[in-house]
Chain A
Amino acid sequence: MLADMIERLLERHLDDSAQARARGGEWLPELWAKFEEMGLPLALLSEEQGGFGLDPADQGEALRLLGRHAVPLPVAETMGANRLLAAAGLPLAEGAAGLARADALTLNEGRLTGRVARIAWGDKLDCLALAVGDRLYRVPRSGWTVAEAGLALNFQPRPTLQIDWTADVSAPLPHCPLAEGSTLRAFQIAGALEAALDMTLEHTGTRVQFGKPLSKFQAVQHELAKLAGELACATAAADLAAEALARCDLLGVAAGSLRAREAAGSGASIATQMHGAIGFTREHRLQLFTTSLWTWRDEFGGQVSWAKLLGQAALDAGGTGYWPMVTAL
């Protein structure tokens, strides 16, 4: 249901020219307003928290759609920030929101100051959900200025923010924003890979070389099969991460995140190769997905930090404890 609504909305309000404007750093206010009208920022909340009480499968579907259409707005981030804020009992965002771990901030006589790096659309947000140590702070827009511009690989803004705020709204941290954000990204990656596979099937099915469609060549078919495998892994990985997040199990989040991120890289590379030169242009829509895949796989905790967390747990489990650890993920 929600998925159909999102799909219809995006068909109407997110065309290639809107994508191009977003790529130039332009905020899409009409599209954002539509998302708000629909209540999407609250989609991960339970009914008691004022959300829709969606089951996990529908939540996942909604998040995947954001990736499937390469939505150039911080919708997923806002959904995640609201989930964190609601779990902490703090007021929800009144517009777009960001979330981050911000341990470099210092708290001095009630003032929170310091920098937070690379927040998606950081100058367009209503508030930030920032974790410092074991507390979650809800920082309103008046609490920061843009310190430094930044861009992601998909050319969307990632400014570094200077926080300076009288910290009057905070609560114990319910779960880590990196785990929250990384799980959201895993779903977006799975969605973008769906789009990449569809586009690659379409392209290889219609582009003719040597007198037949590319998809009739076995070498091409095998690459398509590999891409389908990466998509299957990314989708399962996102679900795995989400289930782990719900039980606050960082290891499961790490496992799901890592595998989705791996699929982002290998999937983007197959899709581009199968498109030929056209896939390497700004004009062709494939780049919306490949550049977003390359963006999302490194956000909310790097590949190395997530891998070390999970790898150390494997070492701690030892040879005999390893399998029980795996079945618990």
Chain B
Amino acid sequence: MSSIAFPRPPEDTAAVIALRTEFRAFLDKELAGRSPRARSDNWYGFDRGFSRAMGQAGYLGMTWSKQYGGHERSAYERYVVVEETLAAGAPVGAHWIADRQSGPSIIKFGTEEQKELLLPGIAAGELAFCIGMSEPDSGSDLAATRTRAVRDGGNYRVTGTKVWTSFAHEADWVILFCRTGSGGPTDRQQGTSQLLVDLKNTPGLTIKPIIDLAGQHHFNEMHFEDAIVPANMLLGEEGNGWNQVMSELAFERSGPERFLSSIELLYQVIEALKGIDSDAAQITLGRVTARLAVLRRLSRSVTAMLQSGQDAALQAAIVKDVGAVFEQAMPDIARELIDAEPGPIAASAYASVLANITLNAPSWSLRGGTREILRGIIARGLGTR
């Protein structure tokens, strides 16, 4: 049978239900007074104070071993915390990448020294990470990476340019994907490695802003000019970068963030329609809610797979693909129900949220692997390539 199996989602045990309740109360307190417009930033919000509070309360590094500051909870408990954080529109940027993918990569591939140096800080909400994969000539085709690291005694010397690096200007560390082999045709994937680079203490590294079309400074260009990275900051093995980066992307693609980016707009639509007797509103909201409920179920199935140690890369690609279509449809769905002129300065909470979501939605089917690349992955999973 060709279909890609999704297992039953994990049970909502009493412990999970209690966690959800307790965490909702935490968010109510931490986010009191946060405006709808700010909540609609979703994971583009960056707030060290909030991330530290998350860390102190035990909501980061949830599945990691206590030895490294983790809390040894289940993948599903972490899922619950992540989806509640996003559904509440919390500013997660200062811990998001580290908690989701950098930390797990370090656990999987890092040395003892690296684990002790970095994991407790991530779990405490103190250390922010970013992702150094894309380059000017290497986007979807990640194996075309050119940034080069050359071994020089106890160091690597790094030269090259990374782009679209979210939060490089705020974060503490980047996991840099780079070329360590000769770069010959047989070496495209094998000749790559990952380095842990300290953004605040690396001579030869400059970070320049790239302003996005919403007018915000959230991603950057990172320029490495003979930058020095200690050799003990090699993550995993030299030459194993491609496999490691694929594993990192599996963490990146698996979560509920892939369909909740426009959830604040949905809340605002519902608020704006309250008390209005409209068949169109009922029908549309019914259909949207059905899509959302089913995406949530699929995403929880992916968590069940992660929890039992299965490879969920394909299932995650499906959730991200279907999820991006869902979240990107929201502005048009809203516009079919409510008249308003959206703008960065607008007349209502609804209109300013609509503005923010409209401006940011195009990025959701690009970041973390484009729609076209994901569909290629799914097609391969169906055996067509």
Contact = CB atoms under 8 A, between A and B. Distances in A.
Question: Is this pair of chains taken from one and the same complex?
Answer: yes
Interface of A: 57, 194, 197-198, 201, 204-205, 215-216, 218, 220-222, 224-226, 228-229, 231-233, 235-237, 239-240, 252, 254-259, 262, 304, 306-315, 317-320, 322-323, 326-327, 329
Contacts, number: 172
A229 B88 CA distance: 27
A225 B294 contact: no
B281 interface: yes
Contacts of B375: 221-222, 225-226
B294 A322 contact: no
Judged by DSSP, the binding face of A is helix
Interface in B118-135: none
A286 B259 CA distance: 32
Interface of B: 1-4, 6, 8, 20, 83, 87-88, 263, 266-268, 270-271, 273-274, 279, 281-287, 289-298, 301, 315, 318, 321-322, 372, 374-376, 378-379, 381-385
Given A228-B2, A262-B287, 4 more contacts: A220-B384, A232-B4, A233-B295, A306-B286
B379 A326 contact: no
A204 B2 CA distance: 13
A323 B290 CA distance: 13
A296 B271 CA distance: 34
Contact of B8 (A201, A239, A307, A314): A239
Nearest to B87: A323
B290 A259 contact: yes
A308 B279 contact: yes
Contacts of B315: 232
B379 A232 contact: no
Contacts of B266: 322
Nearest to A324: B24
A259 B289 CA distance: 9
Contacts of A231: 3
Contact of A326 (B2, B6, B286, B289): B289
A215 B383 CA distance: 9
Given A198-B2, A255-B294, A259-B294, A233 B322 contact: yes
Contacts of A221: 375-376, 379, 384-385
Contacts of B8: 57, 239
A311 B372 contact: no
B294 A237 contact: yes
Given A304-B283, A307-B283, A327-B296, A322 B385 contact: no
Nearest to B269: A319
A239 B385 CA distance: 31
A262 B325 CA distance: 14
A33 B324 CA distance: 47
A106 to B, nearest CB: 29
B290 A255 contact: yes
Contacts of A222: 372, 375-376, 379
Given A57-B8, A197-B2, A224 B293 contact: no
A196 to B, nearest CB: 10
Contact of A310 (B4, B271, B286, B295): B286
Contact of A262 (B270, B291, B296, B301): B291
Nearest to A329: B293
B290 A201 contact: no
A50 B18 CA distance: 38
B43 to A, nearest CB: 16
Contacts of B289: 255, 310-311, 313-314, 326, 329
Given A204-B384, A326-B289, A256 B379 contact: no
B281 A315 contact: yes
B79 to A, nearest CB: 11
A300 to B, nearest CB: 15
A236 B291 contact: no
Contacts of B296: 326-327, 329
Closest 7 pairs between A and B when the two form their complex, measured CB to CB: A307-B286, A311-B286, A311-B282, A221-B379, A258-B290, A225-B378, A311-B285
Given A198-B1, A201-B382, A225-B375, A256 B270 contact: no
A292 B50 CA distance: 52
Nearest to A263: B294
Nearest to B292: A326
23 contacts: A194-B2, A198-B1, A204-B384, A216-B384, A216-B385, A221-B375, A221-B385, A224-B379, A225-B375, A228-B382, A232-B3, A233-B322, A235-B6, A237-B290, A262-B291, A307-B290, A308-B286, A309-B286, A315-B281, A319-B274, A323-B87, A323-B88, A326-B296
B38 to A, nearest CB: 15
Nearest to A323: B87
Contact of A236 (B6, B20, B287): B6
Contacts of A318: 270-271, 274
Nearest to B12: A327
Contacts of A319: 267-268, 270-271, 274
Contact of B290 (A262, A317, A322): A262
Contacts of A205: 383-384
A228 B270 contact: no
A61 to B, nearest CB: 11
Contacts of B2: 194, 197-198, 201, 228
A57 B8 CA distance: 8
B255 to A, nearest CB: 16
Nearest to B299: A236
A315 B274 contact: yes
B294 A240 contact: yes
A223 to B, nearest CB: 9
B297 A254 contact: no
B379 A314 contact: no
Given A224-B382, A228-B318, A319-B271, A235 B287 contact: no
